[in-house]
Chains A and B, each alone.
Chain A
Amino acid sequence: MFHKLTPALVLALGLTGAAAVTALPALAQDGPLRIEITDGVTDPVAIAIPDFYGDSDLAGKIRQVVADDLTGTGLFREIARDAHVSSHDDFNDAVAYEEWRAINAQALVTADVSGQGEEINVKFRLFDIFAGQPLGDGMQFVARSGDWRRAAHKIADQIYSRLTGESAYFDSRVAFVQETGPKDARIKRIGVMDYDGANILWMTDSSSLVLAPQFSPDGKKIVYTSFESGFPQLQILDVASVSSRPLTQGGNSMAFSPVFSPDGRWIAFAQDNGVDTDLWLMDAATGTGRPLTKTHAIDTSPSFSPDGKRIVFESDRSGTQQLYVVPVEGGEPTRISFGEGRYGDPTWSPKGDMIAFTKQLGDRFHIAVMRSDGSEEKTLTDSFLDEGPTWAPNGRVIMFTRVTPGGNGQPRLHSVDISGRNMRPLELDSAASDPSWGPLLP
């Protein structure tokens, strides 16, 4: 469970012919089966995922992860296996589309898990039942058996991408902060886990207060705020070797809220000199920095645009917290938020089209999104305390921290899609906060 992952091999199988069946006219859909994520899906696609072929007990586990990935999006509804009427003996048997239509399946996934010992071989196919044809090529993944969850996520990613036209996100990792202990003496440590909470690896011990980890674009480094020196300063850790080192030193300033640029070369962060908090840019390799903003205000929570040319951040220079965009070479920031309430934690979507943020209105907190020019603001959540949004690699799902009130209040990670639907908590053994969603793994 704790060994390092190796990328799964992906091979397109030339097997589509083996399952080829004369295409039938679509019965209940125009054109190929397709899910439009942004259009407010009311009826999830009914998908059948019969037992995977293969003797290995991994076959059942992989099938379950595929099903959980897909249904977890809210875009799919799994047809219970005891309702299936069609059965096959072999992965290469022709699909009996009529039998799947009879139970109103719209999509069908078949798969075969073989291999033994160190290596497994997982093949799968996806079928559009009403069109009566395969959706894309069959595919084969070769993975170390310890990486079986990754193989499952890869299959689910393929299915998701083929049916939504969007890039995928299941085979990805999330950095987060585990929280234990009482509210006034919380113990925090940074962990890295699969997007669904599996395979947690601890990156720091619990001796120092640590906050707000942020993945590098390649997922190999994490920058975060640490109180190890007694004062908040930046640290960087290498995920593979689980070793960290300071990026900033004490002096008379505090540093926090670090974030990587999309090319990984720069780290933007907030630095307080005892009078005001300004944004700085640091060369990640050399540690040399330069100021980006300078006001008698709090400027914090920077986030780069995906092209690396601009930074969105929050500032109270107008009197209340609002969102601003500034070119990375500096210059006058442009305010982009103008609604009621306080705006914080802006995070640029990996697609570049949207910015997610935390909005405080009265005594309620919301995760919300707007277009990157500030238009079309849309509130996604509402609670006592929601904060810290982070984007899935495909820009379609947001993970954030939700805190319950009271002396025993606890933070918990939740996710929601950008339409505001499918809000769900992430099931973890302990309280958690400050998620940072890493890249889709190769």
Chain B
Amino acid sequence: MKPYLLPLTLSVVMLAACAQQPPAQQVQDPYANLGNGALYQGDLASGSLPGEATAQYFSSQVGDTILFAANQTALNSEARAILNRQAEWLTKHQEFSAVVQGHAEETGTREYNLALGARRAGAVQEYLVANGVESGRIRTLSFGKERPAEVCSEESCYAKNRRAVTVVSASGVGS
């Protein structure tokens, strides 16, 4: 069995507030929710801000997650602002590629949500490509409703689960 991730909220706060070393270890579970800087598993208490050319910088400073309205795949202005920054960063850091994960809330059938998550990821990919990122550097992936960011069965959680998360890595698409 592969390891679980540490609680996400805590690491986000500390990433923003503290300095740190490059990650000591990447989490191996490819199915874990990779949004919001969760890749970072290093020492949170010391070091310097992550370099700009790091996945940690991308997730914590550029912003890796955008949200959608229920059953929608349209990008709102807030989402577009984050994606503009993502496109800019990806244009600047050509050695990185991206996997866009699409997610859906639990109130939908499993099969429909897989397709809905795919469509959300596709909408992000399309936007990034329109803003100058080479399409070959972006892959899309849908988790449907299988990997919620928040687990409650209320709109406050659903709103956070209707999302697309852009995960960047320096070692090629999908790896």
Q: With both chains docked as a complex, state the minimum distance between the C-beta of B172 and any C-beta of chain A, in angstroms.
A: 12
Q: Which single member of A206, A231, A314, A388 contacts B174 (CB below 8 Å)? A: A231
CA gap between A409 and B111 in the complex, in Å: 19
Of the 9-residue stretches B13-21, B51-59, B88-96, B137-145, which lies at the interface with chain A? Answer: B137-145
Taking a contact as CB atoms under 8 Å apart, the answer to whether A252 and B139 are in contact is yes
For residue A385, which residues in chain B have a CB less than 8 angstroms away from its CB? 106-107
- Residues of B25-66 whose CB lies within 8 A of A: 29-33
CA gap between A211 and B145 in the complex, in Å: 11
Taking a contact as CB atoms under 8 Å apart, the answer to whether A300 and B151 are in contact is no
Q: With both chains docked as a complex, state the minimum distance between the C-beta of A130 and any C-beta of chain B, in angstroms.
A: 47
A187 is an interface residue with CB less than 8 A from chain B: yes
Taking a contact as CB atoms under 8 Å apart, the answer to whether A360 and B107 are in contact is yes
Across the interface, name the chain A residue whose C-beta is closest to B161: A184
Taking a contact as CB atoms under 8 Å apart, the answer to whether B118 and A212 are in contact is no
B115 is an interface residue with CB less than 8 A from chain A: yes
Taking a contact as CB atoms under 8 Å apart, the answer to whether B152 and A406 are in contact is yes
Chain B residues touching A, range: 35 or more
CA gap between A102 and B146 in the complex, in Å: 57
Q: Residue-by-residue, is A395-410 near B (CB-CB < 8 Å gives 1, otherwise 0)?
A: 0000000010111010
With A206-B1, A406-B153 known as contacts, the answer to whether A227 contacts B148 (CB < 8 A) is: no
Across the interface, name the chain A residue whose C-beta is closest to B153: A405
Chain A residues touching B, range: 35 or more
For residue B151, which residues in chain A have a CB less than 8 angstroms away from its CB? 182-184, 406-407, 409
For residue B85, which residues in chain A have a CB less than 8 angstroms away from its CB? none
For residue B148, which residues in chain A have a CB less than 8 angstroms away from its CB? 183-184
Q: With both chains docked as a complex, state the minimum distance between the C-beta of A317 and any C-beta of chain B, in angstroms.
A: 12
Across the interface, name the chain A residue whose C-beta is closest to B118: A272
Q: Which single member of B31, B109, B153 contacts A387 (CB below 8 Å)? A: B109
Interface residues of B (CB under 8 A from A): 1-2, 4-5, 29-33, 106-112, 114-116, 118-119, 121-122, 125-126, 139-142, 144, 146-153, 174
Q: Residue-by-residue, is A374-408 near B (CB-CB < 8 Å gives 1, otherwise 0)?
A: 00000000001101100000000000000101110
Q: With both chains docked as a complex, state the minimum distance between the C-beta of B169 and any C-beta of chain A, in angstroms.
A: 12
Q: With both chains docked as a complex, state the minimum distance between the C-beta of A360 and any C-beta of chain B, in angstroms.
A: 7
Q: With both chains docked as a complex, state the minimum distance between the C-beta of B79 and any C-beta of chain A, in angstroms.
A: 18
CA gap between A406 and B106 in the complex, in Å: 10
For residue B115, which residues in chain A have a CB less than 8 angstroms away from its CB? 256, 270, 272, 277, 298, 300
Q: Which single member of A183, A187, A209, A301 contacts B111 (CB below 8 Å)? A: A301
- Residues of A238-257 whose CB lies within 8 A of B: 250, 252, 254, 256-257
For residue B121, which residues in chain A have a CB less than 8 angstroms away from its CB? 274
Across the interface, name the chain B residue whose C-beta is closest to A186: B146
Across the interface, name the chain B residue whose C-beta is closest to A359: B109
Taking a contact as CB atoms under 8 Å apart, the answer to whether B149 and A184 are in contact is yes
Taking a contact as CB atoms under 8 Å apart, the answer to whether A272 and B119 are in contact is yes
Taking a contact as CB atoms under 8 Å apart, the answer to whether B147 and A185 are in contact is yes
Q: With both chains docked as a complex, state the minimum distance between the C-beta of B103 and any C-beta of chain A, in angstroms.
A: 11
Q: With both chains docked as a complex, state the minimum distance between the C-beta of B51 and any C-beta of chain A, in angstroms.
A: 26
Taking a contact as CB atoms under 8 Å apart, the answer to whether A212 and B110 are in contact is yes
CA gap between A354 and B22 in the complex, in Å: 59
Taking a contact as CB atoms under 8 Å apart, the answer to whether B2 and A207 are in contact is yes
Q: With both chains docked as a complex, state the minimum distance between the C-beta of B38 and any C-beta of chain A, in angstroms.
A: 11
CA gap between A232 and B151 in the complex, in Å: 22
CA gap between A230 and B174 in the complex, in Å: 8
A-B contact pairs, 5 of them (CB 8 A): A184-B148, A207-B1, A227-B30, A314-B111, A360-B108
For residue A403, which residues in chain B have a CB less than 8 angstroms away from its CB? 106
